[in-house]
Amino acid sequence: MATTVVDLRSDTVTRPSAGMRAAMAAAPLGDDVFGDDPSVNALQEQLAGRLGFEAALFVPTGTQSNLCAVLAHCQRGDEYIVGQMQHCYRWEGGGAAVFGSVQPQPIAHQPDGTLALAEIEAAVKPDDPHFARSRLLALENTLGGQLIPMAYIEQATALARRLGLSTHLDGARLFNAAVAQAAAGGGTAAAEARRIAQCFDSVSVCFSKGLGAPVGSVLCGSRELIGRARRIRKMAGGGMRQSGILAAAAAYALEHHVDRLAEDHANAKRLAEGLVGIPGLQVAPPHTNMVFVDLVGPARERSAALVQHLADRGVLATGLYRLRLVTHLDVTAEGVDRAIAAVRQFFGR
Tens digit of each residue's pLDDT (9 = 90 or more) over 220-246? 999 999 999 999 999 999 999 999 999
Question: Do 201 and 98 share a domain, yes or no?
Answer: yes
Tell me how far CA of residue 244 lies from CA of 108, 209, 263, in angstroms.
Answer: 40, 19, 28
Rounded to whole angstroms, the Cα distance separating 69 from 200 reads 12
pLDDT at 320: 86
User: Tell me: the pLDDT tens digits for 67-80?
Assistant: 999 999 999 999 99
How confident is residue 2, by pLDDT bands cut at 50, 70 and 90? very low
Find the domain containing 149 and state its range: 18-256
Question: Do 107 and 197 share a domain, yes or no?
Answer: yes
User: Tell me: the pLDDT tens digits for 249-280?
Assistant: 999 999 999 999 999 999 999 999 999 999 99
User: Tell me: the pLDDT tens digits for 139-172?
Assistant: 999 999 999 999 999 999 999 999 999 999 999 9
User: Tell me: the pLDDT tens digits for 22-78?
Assistant: 999 999 999 999 999 999 999 999 999 999 999 999 999 999 999 999 999 999 999
Question: Do 278 and 233 share a domain, yes or no?
Answer: no
Rounded to whole angstroms, the Cα distance separating 142 from 70 reads 19
| 192 within 8 A of 182, measured Cβ to Cβ | yes
Question: Do 269 and 167 share a domain, yes or no?
Answer: no
Mean pLDDT in residue range 190-208:
98
The answer to whether residue 135 scores a pLDDT higher than 70 is yes
DSSP result, 76-144: TTEEEEEETT-HHHHSSTTHHHHHH--EEEEEPPPTTS---HHHHHHHSPPS-TTSPEEEEEEEESSBT
DSSP 8-state secondary structure symbol assigned to residue 342: H
Mean pLDDT in residue range 297-305:
93
Q: Please, what is the angle between helix 18-26 and helix 244-256, to 10°?
A: 140
Within a domain: 326: yes
Q: Which of 197, 228, 256 is the last residue of a domain?
A: 256
The answer to whether residue 349 scores a pLDDT higher than 70 is no
Burial of 201 (0-12, 13-18, 19+ CB in 10 A): buried
Share of the chain above pLDDT 70, in %: 99
DSSP 8-state secondary structure symbol assigned to residue 199: T
Count of structural domains within the chain: 2
Question: Do 174 and 104 share a domain, yes or no?
Answer: yes
CA angle 310, 314, 318 (to 5 degrees): 50
* 218 SS3 class: strand
Chain-centre distance for alpha carbon 131: 31
Q: Which of 196, 226, 256 is the last residue of a domain?
A: 256
Q: What is the CATH number of the domain that holds 189?
A: 3.40.640.10
| 289 within 8 A of 11, measured Cβ to Cβ | yes
Mean pLDDT in residue range 121-147:
97
pLDDT at 3: 62
Question: Do 231 and 279 share a domain, yes or no?
Answer: no
> Under the phi-then-psi rule, with left for phi > 0, alpha for psi from -120 to 50, and beta for the rest, what region is 348?
left
Rounded to whole angstroms, the Cα distance separating 292 from 118 reads 29
Mean pLDDT in residue range 303-320:
95
DSSP 8-state secondary structure symbol assigned to residue 298: G
Question: Do 152 and 296 share a domain, yes or no?
Answer: no
Those residues with Cβ within 8 angstroms of residue 111's Cβ, 6 or more apart along the chain or in another chain: none
